[in-house]
Amino acid sequence: MTTGLVILNIAVMLGIIAVLFYMQKKHVSFSKRVFIALGIGIIFGFALQFIYGAGSEVITQSTDWFAIVGSGYVKFLQMIVMPLVFISILAAFTKLKLTNNIGKISTLILGLLVGTTAVAAAVGIATAVGFDLEAVQITQGEAEQARAEKLEETYGGIEGRTMPQQILDLLPANPFLDFTGARPTSTISVVIFAAFLGIAYLGVRRKSPDQAELFAKIVDAFYAVIMRVVTLILRLTPYGVLAIMTKTVALSDFDAILKLGKFVAASYVALAIMFIIHLLLLTIAGLNPVTYIKKAFPVLAFAFTSRTSAGALPLNIKTQRSLGVPEGIANFAGSFGLSIGQNGCAGIYPAMLAVMIAPSVGIDPLTPSFIATVIAIVAISSFGVAGVGGGATFAALLVLSALNLPVALAGLLISIEPLIDMGRTAVNVSGSMTSGILTSRITKEIDSSVYTDMNQKIEAEA
């Protein structure tokens, strides 16, 4: 009986995929297909849980098959991340697009990423206070206790790491190892390695123009092939979003979400405020925020459903390019944004946790000194998070330990962690793209005509 029901669910999924494929053949826009896939995925996921019940074996087996499409799509995106970062930054040097401003561009991007994370920390603090969130309001069950033990074990592995040590981890001692993604800081290390090669190319071009020309042609050829692979993978986006969203909703623990609804609401209010701040920054820079929303929707939808900033990188860069950002700046902003200055994971989340946990050890979270300390530590830690793995968990561990707060209490929200993480990832990616757009605007390298042209948007048909 179970097998028959699983086959039926798979058949329904294949039918929806066929509809999306038909829409692609009819040249329905990429953004519309992503939006439709997201909506259908939510409805299908709810339907599965309503029909079979939470925790059903039918749902478990069905979503395992759905993962071939959803998780498979994410793996394809992750597959192309390192080659894309490397060849795009190297091509920016061979095409003479970063030679004059590389120091200024890097400084601006990092400053914007860390600065917006400090703002995100302030937003997280204000929201936690406004919703009167406290750790004592959460019942600590078996899952929470297990999570607490795991966090304390993880903390033991990173305890005592200084900021200089974390910065040293960014440097590529073995670039070939970093191409495998073996280290948490591999992406940034590849960026640095590509920049070194680019600078070396400029030196060779002055002394041996013929050799430099040959090298530039080879880089351009590789760049064309890699971008073609990116286009092929992006064609699968609506199908990936459909499968990921269906699985996420079907497996969600709605009882836990209802019990902790106050914490979910507070988190999303904070994330929404931070996204609005991104839009305000673009407006102040003289750019239309509505245009940004329309063009950024596919990548934000993917980041929301997949919960992976790394997997969203190809879409991130493509979106920035559709907004008039030069490819070199887009790659720097996207790559650094993977693990430095993540507004959602490294900004809002640890700041909210700090305010929630502080009363449990007798600290008044409303004192100006505590608030200033939290914002400062969050900003600094957001730069060093990459050295210990990145992500919300490590950011929380670093901030809580620096404030001498119990790190184990960071596991209290484990039951709603996936739901909150969806919004955090989307805000992380938005922050990364915003830093690239603003840097391009400040350096006067943005193509405003491309930014405003709605025909210049992500499409994966060619």
* pLDDT tens-digit readout, 40-61: 998 998 898 888 887 788 888 9
Tokens found for residue 305: 């459903």
Give me the mean pLDDT over the 397-415 stretch: 69
As a whole number of angstroms, the distance between CA 339 and CA 345 comes to 10
Percent residues over pLDDT 90 in the chain: 23
The string of DSSP codes covering 72-125 is HHHHHHHHHHHHHHHHHHHHHHHTTSSTTTHHHHHHHHHHHHHHHHHHHHHHHH
pLDDT band (50, 70, 90) for residue 388 = very low
As a whole number of angstroms, the distance between CA 269 and CA 263 comes to 10
Ordered by start, the domain boundaries in the chain are 2-452
Q: Is the separation of the CB atoms in 335 and 183 below 8 Å?
A: no
Listed in sequence order, the residues at least 6 apart from 203 whose beta carbon sits closer than 8 Å to its beta carbon are none
Please tell me whether the overall predicted TM-score, pTM, comes out greater than 0.85 for this model.
no
pLDDT band (50, 70, 90) for residue 462 = very low
The string of DSSP codes covering 288-312 is -HHHHHHHHHHHHHHHHHH--TTTT
Give me the mean pLDDT over the 381-385 stretch: 65
User: So what's the pLDDT on residue 151?
Assistant: 52
Name the burial class of residue 339, with classes exposed (0-12), middle (13-18) and buried (19+) by CB atoms within 10 angstroms of its CB.
Answer: buried
Selected residue with higher pLDDT from 100 and 199: 199
The CATH code that applies to domain 2-452 is: 1.10.3860.10
Tokens found for residue 190: 């590849």
Report the length, in residues, of the chain. 462
pLDDT digits (tens, 9 = 90+) for 170-191: 778 888 888 887 776 777 788 8
Amino acid in the structure at residue 315: L
pLDDT digits (tens, 9 = 90+) for 117-172: 999 999 999 998 888 877 665 555 555 455 545 555 554 555 555 666 666 777 78
User: So what's the pLDDT on residue 449?
Assistant: 87
pLDDT digits (tens, 9 = 90+) for 207-242: 888 898 899 899 989 988 988 898 888 888 899 989
**Mean pLDDT (the chain, rounded):** 82
Give me the mean pLDDT over the 390-396 stretch: 65
Question: CA–CA distance from 305 to each of 17, 256, 302, 332, 334 (Å)?
Answer: 17, 19, 5, 24, 19
User: So what's the pLDDT on residue 163?
Assistant: 61
As a whole number of angstroms, the distance between CA 313 and CA 77 comes to 8
Alpha-carbon torsion, ordered 393, 300, 178, 194, to 10 deg: -130
pLDDT digits (tens, 9 = 90+) for 315-335: 898 899 899 998 888 888 888
As a whole number of angstroms, the distance between CA 100 and CA 109 comes to 16
Supply the DSSP symbol for 300. Answer: H
User: So what's the pLDDT on residue 387?
Assistant: 38
Is residue 393 scored above 90 in pLDDT?
no
Give me the mean pLDDT over the 59-69 stretch: 90
User: So what's the pLDDT on residue 395?
Assistant: 72
Give me the mean pLDDT over the 343-364 stretch: 84
